[in-house]
Amino acid sequence: MNNNNISIQDRSKLFAVRAIKAYTELNKRHFDDAGKVLAKQFLRASTSIGANLAEGEFAQSKADFISKYSIALKEASETRYWIDIMIRSEIISENKFSSMIDEINIIIRILISTIKKLKDK
């Protein structure tokens, strides 16, 4: 998913699909309650990124658009946090999630850049 020509909306959708597939795989394992909660938090945050970008598409104002993108950025940051926690608690391996870490970092950079440009106008 290193295509630089892909829109942030499509990139976030593709990331959400990957997250859903990862969650499905995680769910096949028998987790304790903590593992289940972490996996659900990861799923919720990772799918919320694109949902907020979709809401931004029909924003009522520039401020509303920036707000939706800012919420998407927060969700992307939270997604990165849950991945890190799952790796550190050995629920997932860093090797299996390294490409997702790379992709969420790209999404975060794009969102930061977009928000900054909009605020500077």
Q: Quick: pLDDT tens for 16-30.
A: 999 999 999 888 876
Q: Which CATH number fits the domain 8-120, given the four candidates 1.20.1200.10, 1.10.3720.10, 1.20.1440.60, 3.40.50.720?
A: 1.20.1440.60
Task: Give Cα separations from 29 to 71, 75, 79, 115 (angstroms).
Answer: 31, 25, 20, 38
Task: Give Cα separations from 84 to 21, 26, 45, 65, 97 (angstroms).
Answer: 18, 15, 13, 29, 10
Compute and round to an integer the Cα radius of gyration of the chain: 15
- Where does the pLDDT of residue 3 fall: very low under 50, low under 70, confident under 90, or very high at 90 and above? low
Per-residue pLDDT at 1: 44
Question: Which tens digits make up the pLDDT trace of 81-98?
Answer: 999 999 999 988 899 899
Contact 69, 53 (CB under 8 A): yes
Tell me if the pTM is above 0.85. yes
Q: Where in the chain are the domains? A: 8-120
Q: Give the DSSP letter of residue 29.
A: S
Residue type, 91: I
Write out the two tokens for 32.
Answer: 């304790």
H helices, E strands: number in the chain: 4, 0
Cα 79 from Cα 76, distance rounded (Å): 5
Average pLDDT over residues 56-84: 97
Poorest-pLDDT segment among 15-29, 39-53, 96-110: 15-29
